[in-house]
Structure 1
Amino acid sequence: MAKKSKSFHDLALRTLEKILSTNFFGRLYTKFFEKMTLDEFEMVEIKKGNKVLHVGCGAVPNTLLILAGNMEAHFVGIDRDKKAVEKARGMVKKYELDKKIKIEKGDAMTYPLSNFDVIIISLGVEPREKVFERIRNEARDDAKIVARKPWDFMDKIYGKKEFIPYGFKVVGTFNRQDFIKSMLLRKI
């Protein structure tokens, strides 16, 4: 049941983002999340010149658009979905952030990780355990990892399982108003 709920939620969100990326509502959607995203990333302390990777950026790369619009860093978003990548590139261009954000078709299981200061893992990224194992083995030791999961009370919908991946410790948390819990992780 929990796996079906999560699969349905992920599909619905991907579909909604593809629709929103094509019109005026995409800008409203991004604007709605701006303050919350900036508050969320205060715990990360992204510095000028940092390299930030967002795994599973989706068709509406809100996090990247907001961060790049407010910070002097280098941003890369990857997604496995070709249509999502095309739409995300279009949004980045609309926001005139194509000099700061690069969107690529990519998979966390094969994309190079060792050059990034910050790695953001979206809620729907799968296979989650293997992605974190790869990060543990290949990301820099001082890399900041931001992992998103549903708020704890939603474990009944998504299924309760230990979320903190092996080899990491939580050094900060932020509960977003959209029922997503953002955790700042460090390798141990």
Structure 2
Amino acid sequence: MLRTIEKIISTNFFGRLYTKFFEKMTLDEFEMVEIKKGNKVLHVGCGAVPNTLLILAGNMDAHFVGVDRDKKAVEKAREMVKKYELDKKIKIEKGDAMRYPLSDFDVIIISLGVEPREKVFERIRNEARDDAKIVARKPWDFMDKIYGKKEFIPNGFKIVKTFNRQDFIKSMLLCKK
């Protein structure tokens, strides 16, 4: 359902409104990450509306790559990046966390719906740089009870900081143990 909403938003002016609405919250969220000039940032599961990438690239001097396994989402995301005139800073590719090269990135963002979550984090633990900053998104803790899930802290990682977004998403800054 989220993918359908993103595809609708990406097709018209609502995309800009959507991105503007989330701008302050996303910038506040990424203060905990300290993205530096020249850093390479990967967003796995960027979706048809690569909101996080658009906001970060519009405000930071770094290199951004978004990957998604949905071909139509990738096409829509590329269109949005071009509309925002950020195609020199953001590259959108079809791919997923189980195969996409990880070792060059300073920051890796894992979207809420990325699956299989445990295997994705196992791969990050084994292949990402030891000093890479990992941002993992999940629903707020109270929603774990609603959905019958327990808190997922990936094996081999520790939580450095957390940020509760106003859209009921909890963002966790992780590092390897």
The TM-score with structure 1 as length reference comes to 0.93
Deviates more, 1:157-166 or 1:100-109: 157-166
Retained in 1: the 8 A contact 2:29–2:163?
yes
Q: Secondary structure at the match of 2:66?
A: strand
Q: Secondary structure at the match of 1:181?
A: strand
Q: Deviations over 1:53-87 (max 9, x none)?
A: 00000000000000000000000000000000000
User: Deviation at 1:107?
Assistant: 1.0
CA distance in 1 between partners of 2:133 and 2:99 (Å): 19
Q: How many residues are aligned here?
A: 176
User: Deviation at 1:187?
Assistant: 0.3
Q: Deviations over 1:34-57 (max 9, x none)?
A: 000000000000000000000000
Name the structure where helix makes up a greater proportion of residues: 1
Identity %: 93
Q: Deviations over 1:135-168 (max 9, x none)?
A: 0000000000000000001012332224110000
Mapping for residues 1-188 of structure 1, pairs under 5 Å:
13-188=2-177
CA distance in 1 between partners of 2:149 and 2:10 (Å): 32
RMSD between aligned alpha carbons? 0.6
Retained in 1: the 8 A contact 2:141–2:151?
no
CA distance in 2 between partners of 1:70 and 1:41 (Å): 11
Which aligned runs of 4 or more in structure 1 are off by greater than 4 angstroms? none
The TM-score with structure 2 as length reference comes to 0.98
Unaligned stretches of 5+ residues in structure 1: 1-12
CA distance in 1 between partners of 2:43 and 2:133 (Å): 12
